[in-house]
Amino acid sequence: MRKIVINGGRPLKGEVTISGAKNSVVALIPAIILADGIVTLDGVPAISDVDSLIDIMVTMGASVKRDGDSLEIDPRQVQSMAMPYGKINSLRASYYFYGSLLGRFGKATVGLPGGCDLGPRPIDLHLKAFEAMGAQMTQEGNAMHLEAETGHMRGASIYMDTVSVGATINTMLAAVRASGRTVIENAAREPEIIDVATLLNNMGAHIRGAGTDIITIEGVEKLHGTRHQVIPDRIEAGTYISLAAAVGQGVQINNVLYEHLEGFIAKLEEMGVRMTVSEDSIYVEEQRELRAINIKTAPYPGFATDLQQPITPLLLKAKGRGMIMDTIYEKRINHVPELAKMTAKISSTSHQIIYEGPNQLHGAAVKATDLRAGAALVIAGLMAKGRTEITNIEFILRGYSNIIEKLKNLGADIELVEEA
């Protein structure tokens, strides 16, 4: 068993550089299947989700070379094969193999996705889009088999009943090599969608409108190799900004795109967080008194659901009473009882979290229930008096590149401990 051990109460200072976006790269890697040449990604984060995706790509026949944060993939020998459940059941982003395999081969058999347990996250929207484009679906045990009736996907007009990042990206993947035009209405607008569309266009795709709610794709017969720089991870950036405001004595966060974080930063300013925003970095000062605020998550460009957990420990320092409402994932409240173990004045009912502060947290034995809850507990452990032990840390390592090293460089007393 592995755990993270933190001796809290130490002020942090210095600089930290944000890695490439996890939520981009988990779609970019499957997208490479669509190419007829070598694709290199730069800025790939060192996270376990990337390791899992590489294993899957190699199993399917791809040649993969990794050098630091660069990843070179030759997909020309990839075969459309059934992926066993055990290969992908810990990886939510496994569903992107549906779109890329359908786009290249006209068929796909992939195990049902896993990942963090955040309540219902159905892939109905994905399947509805694939069916509109001519795919037929059958379920085979723990896997789903999809196959185009004509052996080739065809363009279609698709309206997303709910704004969905995953379904928007998956539809793009299936559409770029389809015959004819595909129009996605009520599309998600997240930066990660623009990143995937940029890669595909650099490979020779014809995608217009990424970043708006209407995306138009003209299918092409072939895509070629290219080189692509992954965008900075806005969720990692928000996590370190929250951490710096909570326990920092002057921390600079580098490789940040402010425009990807405007909704988040607006809430920090409402709290009274003092910071200086530059072209590609944010300097967070040592904080004085902070004000309690209310937060309601929303699709981009609103306050990201992935940032409501990492900001929660910072809210516990604020004076007053506030509320967080997550409208995206109903179970994104699992960090609340763990923070309560650390003597936080916090409670939850359904989508709503109520907190009151300021709090002095105390170290405790806690458990990461999902990726962003784990990040919240790391920040809380750094804020707390005494020793905090976090178990179930595989969730944290799924999405935060070199987190132990980065925090140590800021002065944190933190260790990853292996136990028999």
Contact status, residue 131 vs residue 124, Cβ threshold 8 Å: no
241 plus 197 within the same structural domain: no
pLDDT at 121: 47
225 plus 262 within the same structural domain: no
Secondary structure E strands in 199-319: 206-208, 214-218, 226-229, 248-254, 275-277, 281-284, 295-296
76 plus 102 within the same structural domain: yes
Contact status, residue 89 vs residue 114, Cβ threshold 8 Å: yes
7 plus 86 within the same structural domain: no
278 plus 182 within the same structural domain: no
Q: What is the pTM of this model?
A: 0.95
Instruction: Mark which of 210, 229, 248 sits at the end of a domain.
Output: 229
Q: What is the CATH number of the domain that holds 261?
A: 3.65.10.10
323 plus 353 within the same structural domain: yes
Annotated binding site: 22-23, 92, 121-125, 306, 328
Q: Point out the residues that are catalytic.
A: 116
How many domains, the chain? 2
Q: Which amino acid is at 281?
A: S
Residue 194: give the domain boundaries: 22-229
Which tokens hold the place of 324?
A: 């967080």
Q: What is the dihedral of CA 66, 69, 72, 78, to 10 degrees?
A: 80
Secondary structure E strands in 2-156: 2-7, 12-17, 39-42, 63-67, 70-74, 107-111, 135-140, 143-148
261 plus 401 within the same structural domain: yes
Annotated binding site for UDP-N-acetyl-alpha-D-glucosamine: 92, 121-125, 306, 328
**Mean pLDDT per 10-residue segment, the chain (420 residues):** 96 98 97 98 96 92 97 96 62 86 93 53 85 91 85 96 95 98 98 98 98 98 98 98 98 97 97 97 97 96 96 98 91 93 94 94 97 97 98 95 98 92
Annotated binding site for phosphoenolpyruvate: 22-23
Instruction: Mark which of 229, 264, 299 sits at the end of a domain.
Output: 229
Distance CA 138, CA 140 (A): 6
66 plus 168 within the same structural domain: yes
Instruction: Mark which of 229, 261, 295 sits at the end of a domain.
Output: 229
115 plus 220 within the same structural domain: yes
